[in-house]
Amino acid sequence: MCGIFACYNYQGNVEDFRQHALYLSKKIRHRGPDWSGCVIGNSSILAHERLAIVGVDTGAQPLVSDDNNLILCVNGEIYNHKQLRANLKNTYEFKTYSDCEVILHMYKEMDKDLINHLDGMFSFVLLDKNRNRVIAARDPIGITTLYYGWDSKMPGTVYFASELKALNEDCDKILAFPPGHVYDSDTGETTRWFNPSWWDASQVPTSPVDLKILRDALETAVRKRLMAEVPYGVLLSGGLDSSLIASIAARETKKIAADDPDYDERKDRCNPERITDTFYYYAGGASLWSQLHSFSIGLPGSPDLIAARDVADHLQTTHHEYTFTIQEALDAVSDVIYHLETYDVTTIRASTPMYLLSRKIKATSVKMVLSGEGADEVFGGYLYFHYAPDGKSLHEETVSRVKNLHTSDCLRANKSTMAWGLEARVPFLDKQFLQVAMSIDPNDKKPRQGRIEKHILRKAFDTSDDPSAKPYLPDHVLWRQKEQFSDGVGYSWIDTLKKVAENKVTDDEFAASPWTKDPPTTKEAYMYRVMFEQWYPQDACAASYPR
């Protein structure tokens, strides 16, 4: 994951604009602390802040084609880049080992249709100098973040950036770039490119669940996300979703180590007493060390810490447990809002512990983690799904929740981690896995008497009927009742936030709320909105809030 900034068709001297563009790009350098790049083409400028995960030594961006016609900035990971290279019709000389460079050559052969072939999480901006054309695109669900903006004084100029903070000084209109869409300057239109069969919620699937296909699809989704040449780990709350991802990742990490012919030689060079030495920059796709590293956080004695410790013991991960105080979390809230660029109450509550954890993880030299976002939306895992009157209603709600993940959990996972240059990958939102999971008869997903939420996901990884099989998780974890993340870190966290807001915001202030867009309905929401406005006072910032 990285940070991108671009300005297309700048109405002025673009060379003079360069220093200001670098200043705007620097605002998102936390997303890419490893290197910076900036390239001018015609009257456009593209800048990149790099977090090196794949092609560490050679993947600096912006990427420029051999004929200097195409300039590309990408934020994200293309998991099928090797297959895409092999499928190109013509022969090209690749300059890097980056997973992103293939997009340049695909554009030459497929134009915009290249996006349909990408498997990964990504936002990108590509400039075609000969045509003075820019295209920009965002991944299907919005795992990566992207915004675009306009300055009314410069009609015809379009700005793009990974975060709002790189646009708010120059743009008086800013929008969240919609997931699964592509912008083309030739038409000036933003159109949907991602159109899976399940997108139309009125078409209710009738295929019964195949537990083996479901299990295989999630294992494949995890496996491809171990593509890395840097230290990685998993976020582990001890709940079902993160525990399943950790279990699969632990198995796959051991397989990779076992298949590495140089494993023993490289292991001898590692000192297991230091985490930074227990990883090896292994170009085959994963770290050398056969034990996965897991990370959890909570208030002392919180449910998440206890549950995560239990899972880590079962999986034999190298586990890292961190605690925080209420005061440390309260002190971080304003910074969390700065990085999240939102005033949504639920997102801020849940993001603060994740933000604190990400800083701790970054200190260990880990640069990528797997996370469990998306399972509740896909499988109807929230407790209110018990009240769905029928399968059709449940399916419509799951589709709606998945479509809106970019406004909540995806935004939280991306910006909370990238605030510290840590990349989060989410296997449950894999394109192929979603195709499998969202095509299941919703009646198979529906909780009912005697059947816990996400029953089919749990059952898919339940090996209790096979004595010879190694359990993915202990039964008491596999069938554990769901905890909300913000509750699991410690129940006093949310209660304290409410009390602080009650004391900080007077009744008169709350009654005289000045906002007509998204007016706060609680004092806690009012408190967050004030903090948001302090960071982002421009009208365009609140208007950009993703919907």
357 known ligand binder: no
Position 23 scores a pLDDT of 98
Position 461 scores a pLDDT of 98
371 known ligand binder: yes
Dihedral angle sign, alpha carbons of residues 455, 456, 458, 459: positive
- Three-state DSSP at 37 gives strand
Position 22 scores a pLDDT of 98
Q: Residue 171 burial by CB count (10 A; 0-12/13-18/19+): exposed, middle or buried?
A: buried
Q: What is the distance, to the nearest Å, from the Cα of residue 28 to the centroid of all Cα atoms in its chain? A: 16
Gap between the Cα atoms of 299 and 408, Å rounded? 23
B/e letters for 222-246, b = 16+ CB within 10 Å, e = fewer, are bbbbbbbbbbbbbbbbbbbbbbbbb
SS3 content of the chain, % helix, strand, coil (to 5): 40, 15, 40
Is 38 an annotated catalytic residue? no
Find tokens 């995960």 and name the residue: 53
Find tokens 């950036």 and name the residue: 161
How many CB atoms within 10 Å of residue 201? Answer: 16
Spot the catalytic one: 2, 7, 73, 541: 2
Query: Is 211-494 in the same CATH topology as 3-192?
Result: no
Q: What is the distance, to the nearest Å, from the Cα of residue 220 to the centroid of all Cα atoms in its chain? A: 18
User: Kind and range of the H or E element at 488?
Assistant: helix 485-488
Gap between the Cα atoms of 51 and 48, Å rounded? 10
Position 57 scores a pLDDT of 83
Give the start-to-end residue ranges of the domains of the chain. 3-192, 211-494, 505-537
> Do the beta carbons of residue 151 and residue 143 sit within 8 Å?
no
* Span 3-192 CATH architecture: 4-Layer Sandwich (3.60)
What backbone phi and psi angles, to 5 degrees, belong to 507? -60, -40
Position 480 scores a pLDDT of 82
393 known ligand binder: no
Q: What is the distance, to the nearest Å, from the Cα of residue 435 to the centroid of all Cα atoms in its chain? A: 19
Position 545 scores a pLDDT of 72
Q: What is the DSSP code (8-state) at residue 111?
A: G
Q: Residue 364 burial by CB count (10 A; 0-12/13-18/19+): exposed, middle or buried?
A: middle
Domain 211-494 is in which class? Answer: alpha beta
The amino acid at residue 276 is: T
Which residues have a Cβ under 8 Å from the Cβ of 162 and sit 6 or more positions away? 2, 3, 4, 5, 28, 31, 75, 123, 144, 145, 146, 147
Which residues have a Cβ under 8 Å from the Cβ of 78 and sit 6 or more positions away? 84, 99, 100, 102, 103, 118, 119, 120, 122
301 known ligand binder: no
Give mean pLDDT in consecutive 10-residue pieces for the chain, a chain of 547 residues: 95 97 98 96 97 87 96 97 96 92 97 98 98 98 98 96 98 97 98 97 97 98 94 94 97 80 47 37 43 93 93 96 96 98 96 97 95 97 93 97 97 98 98 98 90 95 92 93 63 92 97 94 98 96 81
- Three-state DSSP at 348 gives helix
Residue 439 tokens, joined: 């095509």
Nearest CA-CA partner of 141 in 394, 333, 425, 350: 425
372 known ligand binder: yes
DSSP per-residue codes, 262-331: THHHHHHT--TTSGGGS----TTSS-S-SSPEEEEEESTT-HHHHHHHHHHHHHT-EEEEEE--HHHHHH
